[in-house]
């Protein structure tokens, strides 16, 4: 089996780690896996080091970029030529831009063949994974409608399976935005290598000592690219509201905040911090390559995104038994679990207590601050949620489970392909009838 996997760029984030893990993990004498990527643009951190660390050498197409560009035509042509040369069984695209150019090239690869004259296109299977979606909170109304129309067309014409990484994301993409047919979808949650977080308690002091934190200080962090959809402005406003309402020093214990990550909004956010008067309470640490050290140092991990698939940062935080508070968007709801709030007035507070973290339902600093204050003051609640989160990730989000799920899907698709080819060669054969139909569910 030959797989070509495509992502627009290997920038810092969960999708880059995901495709590297899949490419490295699905490499064997029976399975050849190739990764294709574009160039990381200026202003974004490159994760090529992560690919190299895992023994993955991606094929780079310099013309493939995040934004729509005339170069996309050349990208599609290069991908088409690659497919003709490599003859893949599976073409698997990840993220919106790679999904557009990759599936368009895949459609051309299927049909631009002499076999078309006798109604026999190439039988390569096309798979697309939504790590998030761009159907709200990214662009204006007109641009969003155009992109949604493109996604619907690609789902209909150039996709055999659509993978979503959470049930909530499936409901949004298929039921709310009407992309694809029900039988095209399969939910395959993310997976990660949790072994790097073993013995995390013994590493708790490493970053805290670096930052001058003592054992009783509370450290609250947000991890992610400094870009609009991550909504760091809400995190900063929440800090200001918390400082004004509760203060950041109480009984000798300090409450401090950190932003881990980098991006084009860094200067703007640092200016906002100064204007809000929180520059002494907040540290911008930039991109760090030691999640095994910085997650144990945090007491609470926050996420303020406007739109998410399933954020890897929350999965990593929960793998370290860190309590989390997050806006209730996308797959975050599936991660943090059902509402277990007691009837103590939380309905009016705008946040709820999930099994494994606090869900914030309103995009305003007062609401986020209320949920955050609840966690700061309740150590027992933090510990219980953190431990439930750790067990949940251990049981459901391992890298081995991810590899097994994706490989199973590939085998099912290639069996479908073989059945169709057998039936085409021998129309009287029963191979490929109802007995070979797949129902992989949701």
HSE-up (13 A, CA, CB side) for residue 390: 18
What digits encode the pLDDT tens for the residues 66-84?
777 889 999 999 999 999 9
* pLDDT given at position 442: 35
Q: pLDDT band for position 431 (50/70/90)?
A: very low
Tell me the two tokens of residue 432: 């490929």
Give yes or no for a contact between 390 and 317, defined as CB atoms under 8 angstroms apart. Answer: no
Could you give the angle at the alpha carbon of 376 between the alpha carbons of 370 and 377, nearest 5°? Answer: 90
Q: What value does the mean pLDDT take over residues 400-410?
A: 96
Tell me the two tokens of residue 102: 């990759």
d(CA 341, CA 343): 6
Place of tokens 């709030």: 341
d(CA 20, CA 159): 22
HSE-up (13 A, CA, CB side) for residue 5: 28
Q: What percent of the chain has pLDDT over 70?
A: 90
* pLDDT given at position 347: 56
What digits encode the pLDDT tens for the residues 269-306?
999 999 999 999 999 999 998 999 999 999 999 999 99
In the predicted structure, residue 209 carries a pLDDT above the cut 50 = yes
| DSSP code of residue 28 | B
Compute φ and ψ for 93, nearest 5 degrees. -105, 150
Q: Which of 84-98, 257-271, 348-362, 381-395 has the lowest mean pLDDT?
A: 348-362
What digits encode the pLDDT tens for the residues 319-364?
999 999 999 998 899 899 877 665 455 556 789 999 999 999 988 9
d(CA 429, CA 296): 60
Q: Which of 42-46, 182-186, 263-267 has the lowest mean pLDDT?
A: 42-46
pTM value is: 0.82
Closest CA relative to residue 165, chosen from 336, 310, 292, 372: 310
In the predicted structure, residue 7 carries a pLDDT above the cut 90 = yes
d(CA 312, CA 15): 9
CA-CA distances (angstroms) from residue 88 to 32, 111, 162, 236?
9, 14, 18, 47
Beta strand 282-286 with 358-360: parallel, antiparallel or unpaired? Answer: unpaired
- Kindly report the number of other CB atoms within 10 A of residue 21's CB atom: 21
Closest CA relative to residue 231, chosen from 298, 150, 306: 306
Q: What value does the mean pLDDT take over residues 220-228?
A: 95
* Domains defined along the chain, listed by start: 2-191+398-436 (3.40.50.2000), 195-396 (3.40.50.2000)
**Alpha helices for 118-177 (secondary structure H):** 141-157, 167-170
* pLDDT given at position 440: 36
Query: Who wins on pLDDT, 430 or 149?
Result: 149
């Amino acid at each position: 089996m030959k797989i070509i996997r495509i992502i627009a760029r290997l920038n810092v984030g969960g999708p880059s780690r995901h495709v590297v893990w899949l490419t490295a993990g699905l490499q064997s004498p029976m399975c050849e896996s190739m990764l294709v990527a574009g160039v990381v643009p200026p202003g974004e951190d490159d994760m090529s080091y992560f690919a190299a660390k895992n023994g993955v050498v991606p094929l780079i197409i310099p013309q493939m970029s995040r934004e729509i560009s005339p170069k996309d035509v050349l990208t599609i042509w290069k991908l088409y030529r690659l497919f003709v040369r490599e003859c893949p069984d599976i073409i698997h695209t990840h993220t919106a831009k790679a999904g557009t150019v990759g599936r368009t090239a895949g459609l051309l690869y299927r049909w631009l063949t002499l076999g078309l004259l006798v109604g026999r296109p190439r039988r390569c299977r096309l798979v697309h994974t939504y790590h998030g979606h761009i159907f709200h909170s990214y662009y204006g109304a007109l641009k969003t409608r155009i992109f949604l129309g493109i996604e619907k067309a690609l789902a209909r014409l150039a996709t055999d399976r659509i993978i979503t990484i959470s049930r909530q994301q499936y409901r949004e993409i298929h039921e709310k935005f009407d992309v694809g047919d029900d039988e095209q979808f399969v939910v395959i949650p993310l997976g990660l290598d949790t072994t790097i977080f073993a013995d995390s308690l013994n590493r708790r002091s490493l970053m805290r000592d670096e930052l001058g934190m003592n054992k009783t200080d509370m450290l609250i962090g947000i991890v992610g690219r400094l870009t609009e959809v991550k909504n760091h402005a809400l995190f900063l406003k929440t800090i200001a509201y918390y400082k004004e309402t509760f203060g950041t020093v109480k009984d000798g214990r300090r409450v401090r905040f950190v932003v881990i990550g980098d991006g084009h909004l860094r200067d703007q956010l640092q200016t906002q911090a100064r204007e809000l008067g929180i520059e002494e309470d907040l540290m911008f640490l930039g991109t760090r390559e030691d999640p095994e050290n910085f997650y144990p140092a945090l007491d609470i991990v926050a996420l303020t995104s406007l739109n998410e698939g399933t954020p890897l940062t929350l999965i990593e935080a929960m793998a370290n038994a860190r309590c989390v508070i997050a806006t209730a968007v996308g797959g975050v709801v599936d991660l943090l679990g059902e509402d277990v709030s007691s009837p103590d007035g939380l309905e009016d507070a705008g946040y709820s207590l999930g099994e494994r973290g606090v869900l914030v339902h309103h995009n305003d600093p007062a609401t986020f601050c209320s949920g955050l204050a609840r966690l700061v003051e309740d150590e027992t609640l933090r510990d219980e949620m953190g431990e439930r989160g750790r067990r949940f990730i251990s049981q459901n989000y391992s890298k081995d489970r991810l590899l097994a799920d994706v490989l199973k899907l590939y085998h099912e698709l290639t069996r479908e392909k073989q059945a169709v080819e057998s039936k085409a060669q021998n129309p009287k054969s029963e191979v490929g009838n109802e007995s070979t139909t797949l129902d992989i569910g949701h």
